[in-house]
Amino acid sequence: MTDATTLTDAGWLSREEMDSARERLPILYVDAVPVRVDDHGVVTEIGLLLRAGEDGQIKRALVSGRVLYHERVRAALLRHLEKDLGPLALPRVPASPQPFTIAEYFPTPGVTPFHDPRQHAVSLAYVVPVEGDCEPQQDALELTWFTPDEARDPGVLAELANGQSHLLTQALAHLGV
Amino acid sequence: MTDATTLTDAGWLSREEMDSARERLPILYVDAVPVRVDDHGVVTEIGLLLRAGEDGQIKRALVSGRVLYHERVRAALLRHLEKDLGPLALPRVPASPQPFTIAEYFPTPGVTPFHDPRQHAVSLAYVVPVEGDCEPQQDALELTWFTPDEARDPGVLAELANGQSHLLTQALAHLGV
Amino acid sequence: MTDATTLTDAGWLSREEMDSARERLPILYVDAVPVRVDDHGVVTEIGLLLRAGEDGQIKRALVSGRVLYHERVRAALLRHLEKDLGPLALPRVPASPQPFTIAEYFPTPGVTPFHDPRQHAVSLAYVVPVEGDCEPQQDALELTWFTPDEARDPGVLAELANGQSHLLTQALAHLGV
Amino acid sequence: MTDATTLTDAGWLSREEMDSARERLPILYVDAVPVRVDDHGVVTEIGLLLRAGEDGQIKRALVSGRVLYHERVRAALLRHLEKDLGPLALPRVPASPQPFTIAEYFPTPGVTPFHDPRQHAVSLAYVVPVEGDCEPQQDALELTWFTPDEARDPGVLAELANGQSHLLTQALAHLGV
Considering only CB atoms, A95 lies closest to which of D93, D98, D175, namely: D175
Q: Is D66:D27 a contact under the CB 8 Å cutoff? A: yes
Q: Is A35 exposed, middle or buried (0-12, 13-18, 19+ CB in 10 A)?
A: buried
Does residue B58 fall inside a structural domain? yes
Q: What is the DSSP letter of C170?
A: H
Nearest to D132 by CA among D89, D70, D177: D89
The mean per-residue pLDDT over the stretch B99-125 comes to 96
Nearest to B81 by CA among B135, B38, B6: B135
Size of interface C-D (CB pairs under 8 A): 91
Q: Which of A16, A19, A25, A122 has the highest number of chain B CBs within 10 A, making it the mutation to test binding with B? A: A25
Cα(A71)–Cα(B120) distance, rounded to whole angstroms? 9
Q: How many domains does chain C have?
A: 1
Q: Is A30:A64 a contact under the CB 8 Å cutoff? A: yes
Q: Give contacts of B 86-105 with C, CB under 8 A.
A: 92-98, 100
Band (pLDDT 50/70/90 cuts) for residue A12 is: low
Q: Other CB atoms closer than 10 Å to residue C76's CB: what's the count?
A: 21
Strands B43-52, B58-61: pairing kind: antiparallel
Does residue D22 fall inside a structural domain? no
Write down the pTM of the prediction.
0.93
Amino acid letter for position D7: L
- Min Cα distance B133 → chain A (Å) is 30
The pLDDT value given to residue B163: 94
Helices (H) and strands (E) in chain C, counts: 6, 8
Assign residue D82 the CATH number of its domain. Answer: 3.90.79.10
Band (pLDDT 50/70/90 cuts) for residue D9 is: very low
Does residue A1 fall inside a structural domain? no
Q: Is A73:A30 a contact under the CB 8 Å cutoff? A: yes
Whether D74 sits inside 8 A of A42 (CB atoms) is: yes
The pLDDT value given to residue A2: 34
Tens-digit pLDDT profile for residues A100-155: 999 999 999 999 999 999 999 999 999 999 999 999 887 788 999 999 999 999 99
Tens-digit pLDDT profile for residues D13-71: 777 878 888 888 999 999 999 999 999 999 999 999 999 877 788 999 999 999 999 99
CA distances from D132 to D35, D74, D140 (A): 11, 18, 17
The pLDDT value given to residue C149: 97
Q: Other CB atoms closer than 10 Å to residue C8's CB: what's the count?
A: 15
The mean per-residue pLDDT over the stretch B150-171 comes to 96
Does residue A12 fall inside a structural domain? no
Does residue D10 fall inside a structural domain? no
Does residue D154 fall inside a structural domain? yes
Cα(C55)–Cα(C46) distance, rounded to whole angstroms? 26
The residue range of the domain holding A86 is: 27-175
The pLDDT value given to residue D56: 81
Residue C141 has pLDDT above 80, yes or no: yes
Most confident of A12-26, C4-18, C33-47: C33-47
DSSP H helical ranges for C11-158: 15-22, 73-85, 148-151, 154-157
Which residues of chain D neighbour C10 with C-beta distances below 8 Å?
Answer: 23-24
Which residues of chain C neighbour B93 with C-beta distances below 8 Å?
Answer: 40-41
Strands C58-61, B140-146: pairing kind: unpaired
Whether C37 sits inside 8 A of B127 (CB atoms) is: no
Does residue A8 fall inside a structural domain? no
Does residue C59 fall inside a structural domain? yes
Band (pLDDT 50/70/90 cuts) for residue C5 is: very low
Which residues of chain D neighbour C107 with C-beta distances below 8 Å?
Answer: 70
Whether D96 sits inside 8 A of A127 (CB atoms) is: yes
Cα(C46)–Cα(C35) distance, rounded to whole angstroms? 4
CA B56 to chain centre: 19
